[in-house]
Structure 1
Amino acid sequence: MLNRREFSSSIATGAASLAGMLTMPGLFAAEPAPKRATKYIDVHTHIGSYTDPTKKLTVDGLLTWMDEHDIEKAVVLPLTSPESTTFLQLTDTALAAGKAHPDRLIPFCSIDPRQMVGGGVKGLVKIIQAWVDQGAKGFGEHKVGLNFDDPLMMRVYEACQEVGIPLLFHIDNIRGKDVPGLTRLEHAVSTFPELNFIGHGPGWWASISGGLDQKQLGGYPKDKVQPGGAIDRLMENYPNIYGDLSAGSGNNSIARDLEFGREFLIRRQDRIMFGTDYLAPGQAVPQFDLFTELKLPADVEQKIFKGNATRVLKLS
């Protein structure tokens, strides 16, 4: 029990503390809420191991990296074809990550076209629809050691069109194989006009330039962009083709010729999506510095950084 003197003293001490809080609020303010990442939607990340078993990217590791780089949401892409990676990354893993963090991670689904599936296209539709019902927002990364318009590949495109989800693909001289001018890709894009194709990889991004030979299609050309690039032609003629500006190939396509690259991004502002291909702890990602250097108009940045992905993936 407090005596009268102790009680009066405690009241005075409390009043003094309250007065201090009112006159010096900075000293007593609660910790500010953590800043919420809002700048980007990244349409290309992976979790798990890629080629190095000692560099495994966990879900927590991906989320921490996203917070550090102001990435609001990220697409998690499976890799299910033997040519796509050393360590396969399954759809179930991407779905589980999306279910655990629905406000941050966007799962895609994938199945190798050569995998045994009963019922042809209808069988594929049944499988893909089941994944969509569990939260998948797209198909990919479609990175398969076949010609881009091989009949088995075309079955996948038909199924994705029927289900109504976009497909993110990889092109080079080993996976999703094509020729200079991307005529195999054009065959698929024109055959399935209601399917949104999202392009990625050396073969896709090298095709920002004309004048390519087959070797250059699978590489990272460093010379100035030449007229007649297949990407501009395809985007001009087909409303269902988009670009994922991730990885070294995406960065190189713009950085190799910054003047052309900046004009291209402004010209195709409704077709380009921000991506990184972040897949291992500590990985360097050049896209952040690239966009700082480009100084694009704010409305163009908004579309590339978030708006186009929000629309194509039906996130709102």
Structure 2
Amino acid sequence: MNLSRREFSKSMLLAGLGCAAGQWSARSLNAAKPNIKAGTGIIDVHTHIGTYTDPKKNLSPEALISWMDEHQIEKSVVLPLTSPESTKYLQTTESVLAAAKQHPDRLIPFCSVDPRTTHAGSVKALVSMIQAWVDQGAKGFGEHKVGLNFDDPLMMRVYEACQEVSIPLLFHIDNIRGKDVPGLKRLENALKTFPELNFIGHGPGWWASISGGLTPKELGGYPKSKVKPGGAIDDLMSRYPNIYGDLSAGSGANSISRDLAFGTEFLIRRQDRILFGTDYLAPGQAVPQFELFEKLELPDAVLSKIYRENAIKLLKLTA
């Protein structure tokens, strides 16, 4: 077992997060329904409810919370999916807000609208729509997973509206959704144009860019080779303070595990802007993040930031 994970409760005490005394082990993340005290558990910044692709695998809010209990996850961000390229079965902002209203101590709602929606065409209209959702409790925008170039004019309207409303935006990049090129130049255009908007990176295209020397095809995949110098993520994080990383899904776990030495150094180097996430979206789904974090040797303070402190600060949560 990983010493850092065994002593995670102690680390949160030292960080002043009010954790009750006790120890976590790596194995405890797979224990059945532990008692999670407020201010002590993980904050997962990427989950979904409803149906994704398989109509036989509907994930209810209650089933999500039961899974959270099994894995020491105190709160989860729930993301709608509103673009036709994002899922077979759309997940509306309204359904996410309703679930969070029923479980306000466990679920954190985000909002989303496809930028091609007719009545959301102007920035003014988008601001009005997004602000109404924020007034109902939405803490961010996403999952922004749209079949357009990342800096398409319609996408840029969404970014402008989110900047005006002052909420972060969680995006997906690959070769189909949020399309970009090696080096993530389209993402950089958005970061530069909207410096007051905090972007949260997710998806194969984002996480493959931990390495340099990518081909366009690799932006849509899960490279297994050792990380090469010149990765766009490090470069962008060095130059733009408004970009964060969501470690969820196979893409997030693969980016660190493909080169564990580099991945560990990366997490330490970018500890203030990395967020724990799983992309849990269907009953029985395998989640590689738990196994990954059992292998990692990270300082307690770094784990505390990744597990919850960064999310609390970015989403303006009550600790």
TM-score normalised according to structure 2 size: 0.88
Q: Distance in 1 between matches of 2:149 and 2:188?
A: 12
What is the percent sequence identity of the aligned residues? Answer: 76
Equivalent residue number for residue 120 of structure 1: 122
Equivalent residue number for residue 9 of structure 2: none
How far apart are 1:34 and its partner, in Å? Answer: 6.3
Equivalent residue number for residue 315 of structure 1: 317
Equivalent residue number for residue 55 of structure 2: 53
Match of 2:176 among 174, 177, 180: 174
The residue type paired with residue 239 of structure 1 is: P
* Cα RMSD (Å): 1.1
Q: Deviations over 1:246-273 (max 9, x none)?
A: 0000000000000000000000000100
Q: Helix, strand or coil for the counterpart of 1:141?
A: strand
The aligned runs of 1:41-190 (5 Å cut-off) are: 41-117=43-119, 120-190=122-192
Equivalent residue number for residue 285 of structure 1: 287
Q: Say if 2:273 is the partner of 1:266.
A: no
Q: Helix, strand or coil for the counterpart of 2:118?
A: coil
Q: Distance in 2 between matches of 1:118 and 1:238?
A: 28
Distance 1:65 1:34, change over 3 A: closer
Equivalent residue number for residue 214 of structure 2: 212
Q: Distance in 1 between matches of 2:112 and 2:80?
A: 6
Q: Say if 2:233 is the partner of 1:241.
A: no
Equivalent residue number for residue 13 of structure 2: none
Structure 2 unaligned segments of length 5 or more: list them: 1-32
How far apart are 1:36 and its partner, in Å? Answer: 1.4
Q: Deviations over 1:94-137 (max 9, x none)?
A: 00011111111000000000001266101100000000000000
How far apart are 1:47 and its partner, in Å? Answer: 0.2
How far apart are 1:39 and its partner, in Å? Answer: 2.6
Count of aligned residue pairs for this structure pair: 284
The residue type paired with residue 205 of structure 2 is: G
Q: Distance in 2 between matches of 1:35 and 1:219?
A: 38
Q: Distance in 2 between matches of 1:206 and 1:163?
A: 30
The residue type paired with residue 137 of structure 1 is: K
TM-score normalised according to structure 1 size: 0.89
Q: Distance in 1 between matches of 2:301 and 2:121?
A: 46
How far apart are 1:297 and its partner, in Å? Answer: 0.7
The residue type paired with residue 92 of structure 2 is: L
Equivalent residue number for residue 196 of structure 1: 198
Q: Distance in 2 between matches of 1:95 and 1:58?
A: 13
Q: Deviations over 1:3-23 (max 9, x none)?
A: xxxxxxxxxxxxxxxxxxxxx
Structure 1 unaligned segments of length 5 or more: list them: 1-32
Answer with 143-152 or 284-293: which moved more: 284-293
Q: Detail structure 1 runs of 4+ shifted over 6 Å in the superposition.
A: none
Q: Distance in 2 between matches of 1:118 and 1:141?
A: 17
The residue type paired with residue 100 of structure 2 is: G
Q: Helix, strand or coil for the counterpart of 2:119?
A: coil
The residue type paired with residue 35 of structure 1 is: N
Q: Helix, strand or coil for the counterpart of 2:171?
A: strand
Q: Distance in 1 between matches of 2:76 and 2:242?
A: 22
* Contact residue 34 and residue 69 of structure 2 kept, 8 A: no
The residue type paired with residue 36 of structure 1 is: I
How far apart are 1:35 and its partner, in Å? Answer: 1.2
Equivalent residue number for residue 36 of structure 2: 36
Q: Deviations over 1:3-55 (max 9, x none)?
A: xxxxxxxxxxxxxxxxxxxxxxxxxxxxxx96115331000000001000000
The residue type paired with residue 195 of structure 1 is: L
Distance 1:205 1:119, change over 3 A: closer
Q: Helix, strand or coil for the counterpart of 2:90?
A: coil
Q: Distance in 1 between matches of 2:273 and 2:228?
A: 20
* Contact residue 213 and residue 228 of structure 2 kept, 8 A: yes
Q: Helix, strand or coil for the counterpart of 1:154?
A: helix
